[in-house]
Amino acid sequence: MQLHNLKRKTKNKKSVQVGRGGKRGKTSGRGTKGQKARAGRKMRPEMRDIIKKLPKLRGYDFQSRHEKPVVVTLAALQKNTSSGDTVTREFLAEKKLVSIYKGKMPAVKIVGDKKESAFSNKITLVGIKATASVKAAIEKAGGEVK
Q: Where are the domains of the chain?
A: 70-145
Q: Can you give the pLDDT at residue 111?
A: 93
123 and 145 in contact (C-beta within 8 Å)?
Answer: no
User: What is the CATH topology of the domain spanning 70-145?
Assistant: Ribosomal Protein L15; Chain: K; domain 2 (3.100.10)
What is the 3-state composition of the chain as percent helix, strand, coil, each rounded to the nearest 5? 25, 10, 65
Residue 108, SS3 per DSSP: strand
Per-residue pLDDT tens digits of the chain, which is 146 residues long: 899 999 999 988 887 676 676 677 778 788 888 888 888 888 888 898 898 888 776 666 666 667 789 999 998 888 888 888 899 999 999 999 999 888 889 999 999 887 766 788 899 999 999 999 899 989 988 989 88
Q: Of 103, 101, 107, 139, which Cα lies nearest the Cα of 123? A: 139
